[in-house]
Amino acid sequence: MNLSSFITTLVRDGQVTVDTAVHAFSPDDLAATRSILLNYYQHDLIDMPGEAPAFDNDTALWAAGFIYRAAQLIRSRPSGNNGIEQWLPKHAGATGPEAIYSADLCLRYLPDLLSIAKKLAPADPLVQRLTETAAQWPFSSTGMNIYPAAPVTAITEHPSLLQAYTDRIIASKDTGRCNDPVVMTAVKASLGSYADLLWPGFHDSFRD
């Protein structure tokens, strides 16, 4: 299965199939994937609060390739652990709101992949690589009990991202993410008088 088909199936069905052979994506496949990701972004905007960040084509494509390769390396490791750095490179571009949201279109599936990888081999270097990525992209990793690798200013300073991030924190009851004062304020505002219903034990968790 090529990258464009992989992303289509992932978004539509939540299930994927990958090739066992690891090879470079063709130019035609990358072009088709870019088009699919843009369409995915346009549909996803409906569920974002307020005005979402603009689409970052390159970051979205990087994240799509990362998730595809991670799924491949979970299934098969033809090059051994040396293939992890080669096929799962870190994102070298910008990390502003546009990159955060565009990467999330695919990185939101990272928790599922990390869970599978941990069950298969907890000490696998692949688990470490996926954990590092989750820490580097906190918008996509709420509920994983992984702290952000850097301040989440790019999220908290963007109203749409902050509200979506807050909603995810509440849904996953991620107490660790509330250590950021801005995030805590947003969580409290969103919970309002319904904290006991939406997050039972919330006030006890943060009692002085």
pLDDT digits (tens, 9 = 90+) for 58-70: 999 999 999 999 9
**Is 0.85 surpassed by the pTM of this model?**
yes
Dihedral, 186, 188, 189, 191 alpha carbons, nearest 10:
120
C-alpha distance from residue 192 to each of 17, 50, 125, 167, 185 (Å): 43, 19, 42, 13, 11
Q: What angle do CA 29, 32, 34 make, to 5 degrees?
A: 110
Task: In whole angstroms, give the CA distance from residue 171 to residue 139.
Answer: 13
Q: Which of 132, 206, 121 is nearest to 169 (CA)?
A: 206
44-99 pLDDT, tens digit each? 999 999 999 999 999 999 999 999 999 888 877 655 566 788 889 899 877 899 99
Q: Cβ–Cβ contacts within 10 Å for residue 99, how many? A: 22
185-202 pLDDT, tens digit each? 999 999 999 999 999 989
Tokens standing for residue 185: 């304020």
pLDDT at 82: 66
Decide: residue 119, CB within 10 A, 0-12 exposed, 13-18 middle, 19+ buried. exposed
Q: Which amino acid is at 133?
A: T
Q: Cβ–Cβ contacts within 10 Å for residue 98, how many? A: 20
